[in-house]
Chain A
Amino acid sequence: MKSLPPNPWPWREGSVVVILLLSLGWLGLAAPSFFKPAALWPWLTSVAPVLLIATGMFFVIVGRQIDISVGSQFAWCSVLAGEAASAGWPWPGILASALLAGLALGALNGLLVAGFKLPSIVVTLATMVTLRESLRAWREGEFVRDLPDSFQWFGLGQSLGQCWVIAAALLLWMILWIASVRLSVFRWVYAVGSNAEAARLAGLRPARITFGLFAFMGLLTGLAATLNAVRFTDVDPKTGAGLELQAIAAVVVGGVSISGGRGRLWGVLAGVLLLACLPSALVFLKWPPHWEKAIQGLIILTAVAAEGVHRARSRGRED
């Protein structure tokens, strides 16, 4: 029995990057105003929170789980941060409240999935609705207003604030990218996603790692919610709707296998940026913006189907 040829070039991630560069180039030519600072910075600022969510989702999916309650967690963290701000808390307190809220909500998911061994799709489906509805019951649609001036843009004004938001997201992403390759706890996630049984035999503890995945996702959600909330002067309780699908789409497009165990974070960055170009691309193509959700769904299906076809073919090739 011959072994297969050496590791293939990362064609999935590579192709996403290529498509991304092509799209950006095309946009630059067709709609140069896209790259003017006045448009580019706000765009990047809006992408920053999505990048963080997608990063958390990356680890969840690599660990062979899924979390569709992220959007509802995001809303809760945003509102809590806003409430903390309007109650006059200093910035460290505001940040802490968002992070802790996210951590707690993520830990809840983790407990149910890892502790009771329930499938993550059903658990996060239930927590998604419960969280969303409970928030609606509390706020009844009411925005969090009367925020102190120090809230928006951290009190630094728009241009500096935008820099901070983008820098924070990018920096954290980079740290996590390096960590995903070099920090052993993150490699454990890959191990568990690749073969949970072997992980157990190797002395890793799949249940704890799975719990950690959801808790970490919650933490990142809290941070992302904060970075997003500072863009505005008030907090909309309906924020975060559809965020989970955006994140999953970005991760899947970025070349991560839905069956876990493999994937590269730089692919996720490319995926996030590519999907974020979508609204602008639609505007240019003069397509109505309402096509966004449909295209997102189509992208998920195509990416997953492509992986399925590829896997079926490589299975057949092992003769």
Chain B
Amino acid sequence: MRTPLSGETGRHELVLMAFLAAELLLFSFTGRRFATAENGFEILRVSVEFGLLALVMTPVILTGGIDLSAGSLLGLCAIVLGKLWRDAGLDPGWASALALAAGAAGGLLNGVLIARLKLPPLIVTLGSFSLFRGLAEAITQGVDNFTGFPDSFLLLGQGYILGAIPAQVPIFLAVAAGLWLLVHRTPFGRSLRALGYSPEGARFAGLPVGRNLILVYVLSGAGAGLAAIIYVAHLGQAKADAGTGYELLAITAVVLGGASIFGGKGSVHGTLLGLAALAVLKNGIALSDRPSEWVGMATGALLLAVLSGEAMLKKMSARVPRSPTRDSTSMPSGSP
């Protein structure tokens, strides 16, 4: 009997790369100036914000959870940054640091409710989705728009390094690299995977399940904070609707990248590939002069297609016996 080896199955990544290649091909024909280096960098620049959210969403989904409040938290942090800078007179550096802290605090709220009170992540992050966006709207009274940031700050989102590379890209790459190491090369990352596959098994192995769960959501919140800083620098303004809809993009990127919504399976490099596919999709549609609504439709349809496809494959192919999730008398297991 073939014993499948551990490590991510390359098959999913290959399919994704084929899809990406198909996209690139299609848009190079239908899009204006699509296949240029300049456009390539633009794609990068525009994707950093929801890309960061997708990166920090990956460990959350690895644990079998979900964070629906990511986009709203981005909005809240953006407002915090704007308010602190304009009305409290802090310089953008300090305002950014505090915005980051606000993101971590929001993540902490999620984490404590999920880990300590054992509430389903779905409903907790749905509630905080509303709370964070609501706070952003309340602070700005729905209309306020923070603008006029100093150029030194805007360089972060609008400037270039070495003439051509958008300034936020190195930040994104650094975060991506750091997160990859965290998820794939640290005990913490390993424990997240164990937790996602089998919460009971992880507990019996002495892993600090509660603490790690809280940390994962704090990380997600901090990621939203960082994304907010870059968002504000990029657009030059902070409005309460910042980041609307980003959570769907983030979740889609992670799931496209091969993560299982039930936990355990998934990778940072998969997420990056999924991000690439989504970012190219967004850009290609815009450059092909199609309405921007097509992006949302395509993203939703893509997510459903991937999930349904996976569900069908699961039914058909032989798979590794999963950790039992229900109470069943342990039967003697003979080898097949």
Contact = CB atoms under 8 A, between A and B. Distances in A.
A117 B311 CA distance: 7
A290 B299 CA distance: 30
B307 A122 contact: yes
Interface centre among A119, A294, A309 (most CB of B within 10 A): A294
A252 B130 CA distance: 14
Contacts of B308: 112, 116, 118
A313 to B, nearest CB: 11
Contacts of B137: 290, 293-294
Interface in B279-336: 291, 293-297, 299-301, 303-304, 307-308, 311-312, 326
Q: What is the interface of chain B mostly: helix, strand, loop, or mixed? A: helix
A93 interface: no
B117 A301 contact: no
B90 interface: no
Contacts of B245: 129
Contacts of A140: 291
B129 interface: yes
A66 B122 contact: yes
Interface string B112-141: 010001111011101111111111011011
A296 B130 contact: yes
Interface string B16-43: 0000000000000000000000000000
A108 B23 CA distance: 27
A130 B141 CA distance: 29
A68 B126 contact: yes
B275 interface: no
Contacts of B120: 258-259
B171 interface: no
B261 interface: yes
B297 A301 contact: no
Contacts of B78: none
Contacts of B132: 297
Q: What is the interface of chain A mostly: helix, strand, loop, or mixed? A: helix
Given A122-B251, A248-B126, A258-B120, A116 B311 contact: yes
A305 B127 CA distance: 11
A297 B117 contact: no
A291 B134 contact: yes
B126 A245 contact: yes
Contact of B130 (A66, A258, A294): A294
Interface residues of B, number: 48
Contacts, number: 147
B202 interface: no
Nearest to A302: B127
A125 interface: yes
Interface in A108-162: 112, 116-119, 121-123, 125-130, 132-134, 136-137, 140
Interface string A6-44: 000000000000000000000000000000000000000
B147 to A, nearest CB: 19
Nearest to A128: B300
Nearest to B133: A293
Contact of B297 (A125, A137, A300): A137
Given A118-B311, A293-B133, A126 B126 contact: no
A298 to B, nearest CB: 6
Interface centre among B119, B248, B255, B295 (most CB of A within 10 A): B119
Nearest to A136: B293
B150 interface: no
Nearest to A296: B130
A130 B297 contact: yes
Given A123-B304, A258-B120, A305-B113, 12 more contacts: A121-B68, A122-B303, A126-B252, A127-B304, A129-B248, A129-B296, A133-B295, A258-B119, A288-B138, A290-B140, A295-B134, A312-B118
Q: What 6 pairs across the A-B complex have the smallest Cβ distances?
A: A294-B134, A297-B131, A293-B134, A297-B130, A133-B296, A130-B300
Interface of B: 66, 68, 113, 117-120, 122-124, 126-135, 137-138, 140-142, 245, 248, 251-252, 255, 261-262, 291, 293-297, 299-301, 303-304, 307-308, 311-312, 326
